Chain A
Amino acid sequence: METSNGAPPAPGLITRETPVGYELIGVTKKAAIQLMGSRLWGRFNPNHWDPVYAAETGLKAPIQTGEMSSAYLSEMCVNHFGRNFFVNARMVCKYVAATLANEVITTHGIVREKAPKGDGFRFKVEIWAENEAGEKKTVGWVEADVEV
């Protein structure tokens, strides 16, 4: 995927010809404790960065805010839908398991539906984020219009 200045292509990688079953290329991130506990993200809740408090509340380790996982999935979707992910799009996420500090998370997506709309299509993509063992942490789906 060649980009300009590191930006995704404005129209995205998914076009009207993209078939159902197409697999999106995800992003991979490490759940770094320093980022999980940064002021804008998790500092207000020690479950997100303090091993002592997390253990007291029954957690094996500090857990990422779910919204960090949504941000990772959103980055993947912007890469593939480009500007189309900012207009009349939908994103549904369920945090089915906690992302623990130091886990490496990769996002995934598969085009599941493609419905005619206007001059183009509305795509529905199953999305999820999982750790290196393949354990799903966040599951959901997105919808976006392409060439409508």
Chain B
Amino acid sequence: MTAPETDALRPMTEIQIQQTRDFVNSLNAKSQTYWDMVAVGDELWRDLHITPELVILYCDGVEDYNPWYEGWLMNTWYGEGESPFGGAIVPPMLVSHFVLSVQFDHTKPFAIGSIHTFHDSEIIEPIPVGATVRIHTRAIDKFVKRDRRYVRHEVTVTDAETGTRYLTETRDILSR
């Protein structure tokens, strides 16, 4: 089987191909394995301001056009939005996507090649667009299953100002 080309799935010019290869090489050069980056008992947390634009970026990536999530629209720009809870709210699984940026030391290069394999999420309260959430993670297990290495985390997402608990989660990452 011949190796695929950089532009196998989308058209690119020579300069785009070179920039892509340079970017991937830069990611790969400093990367450690996820398994080595995390120790059981590691606790980390960060605050994330969920801006209207962040929600739009998330939704557009998965083609979810539910107007409940719109605190920003082309032409009108910022607005309160409208949902069954009043103003615009955040899609139920959005904060789960950002846990990855918390559960290892984000000041180090990302452990590319790792894969998310499982989550068990309790959705407790709707998150208003514009909220700042605190994502707290704790590594609770590292295990090998069928010769594959996994790291398990417990996650809690709360409102950074009010302490309202929005989501809890258990999740597994398959390491290189």
Residues of A within 8 A of B (CB): 5-8, 10, 29, 33-35, 38-41, 44-47, 50-55, 57, 61-63, 65-68, 70-72, 74-75, 77-78, 82-83, 85-95, 98, 101-102
Q: Please pick, from B61, B68, B118, B123, the residue contacting A68 in the complex, using a CB distance under 8 A.
A: B61
Give A137 to B25 CA distance when docked, in angstroms. Answer: 29
B residues in contact with A44, CB < 8 Å: 27, 110, 112
Q: Is B29 an interface residue (CB 8 A)?
A: no
In this complex, how many residues of chain B approach chain A with their Cβ under 8 Å: the count is 50
A55 touches B3 (CB 8 A): yes
Chain B residues positioned under 8 Å from A8 (CB to CB): 66
On chain A, the residues within 8 Å of B125 by CB distance are 86-87
Q: How near does chain B come to A9, taking the closest CB pair, in angstroms? A: 9
Interface of A is mostly: mixed
Q: Is the CB of B96 within 8 A of A6?
A: no
The 4 closest A-B pairs by CB, nearest first: A51-B4, A83-B84, A86-B126, A10-B84
25 cross-chain CB contacts under 8 A: A10-B84, A34-B10, A40-B61, A50-B20, A51-B8, A52-B21, A52-B24, A53-B24, A55-B3, A65-B116, A67-B93, A70-B119, A72-B62, A75-B91, A78-B92, A85-B123, A86-B123, A87-B126, A89-B92, A90-B120, A90-B122, A91-B92, A91-B123, A92-B120, A102-B9
- In the complex, A92 Cα to B93 Cα: how many Å? 11
